[in-house]
Amino acid sequence: MDRTTRTTLMAFVIAGLLAGPALSARAADDAGDRIDRRLDARGDRIDQRLDARGDRVDARLDERGDRIDRRLDERADRARENGREGLANRLDRRGDRIDRRLDARGDRVDRRLDRRGDRIDRRLDARGDRVERRFDRRHERRVRRRIHR
């Protein structure tokens, strides 16, 4: 085997060794990206469910507040008709207080659901990072194995 043939053969061997890790790196990156996209989609679905749940809670609290407000308004109107202005004013203030409390309760529920969604997002992001690191380590081991052969 002459020197040119040997050099050409070595070039093909080196190219093959370098192409293998490049291909496996691309495959590892693609697999990591797929897993990352799935985790992101899962996080988005969970966020949507939590938002819908918060909306349902808000709607229920609003309905409850409206029912209480209507009853208190009816009682206040009857009290005014009977000349009991003090009772009517107390009932109005009571309705306002209940409205504020229900609004605060809805806000607390929204904040709690947001925190829960953020926690889930952080967990999914951390999981994606771990998966990506695992793919990177696996790829590095493969490259080292091929180089040391």
**How much is the average pLDDT of 118-134?**
82
Tokens of 146: 């091929």
User: What's the pLDDT at 124?
Assistant: 82
**Tens of pLDDT along 112-121?**
888 888 888 8
**How much is the average pLDDT of 113-132?**
83
List, as one string, the DSSP characters of 61-114.
HHHHHHHHHHHHHHHHHHHHHTT-HHHHHHHHHHHHHHHHHHHHHHHHHHHHHH
Q: Is 1 helix (H, G, I), strand (E, B) or coil?
A: coil
Give the Cβ contact number of residue 23 at 10 Å.
Answer: 10
Cβ neighbours for 14, distance < 8 A, ≥ 6 positions apart: none
**How much is the average pLDDT of 51-67?**
86
**Tens of pLDDT along 63-79?**
888 888 888 888 888 88
> Containing domain of residue 123, as a range?
3-148
Count: domains in the chain: 1
**Tens of pLDDT along 17-41?**
455 555 566 776 777 778 778 877 8
d(CA 46, CA 52): 10
| pTM metric for this prediction | 0.57
User: What's the pLDDT at 120?
Assistant: 84
> pLDDT-based confidence at 126, cuts 50/70/90?
confident
Amino acid at the residue 128: G
Q: Give rounded-to-5 percent helix, strand, coil for the chain.
A: 95, 0, 5
Q: Is 129 helix (H, G, I), strand (E, B) or coil?
A: helix
User: What's the pLDDT at 35?
Assistant: 76
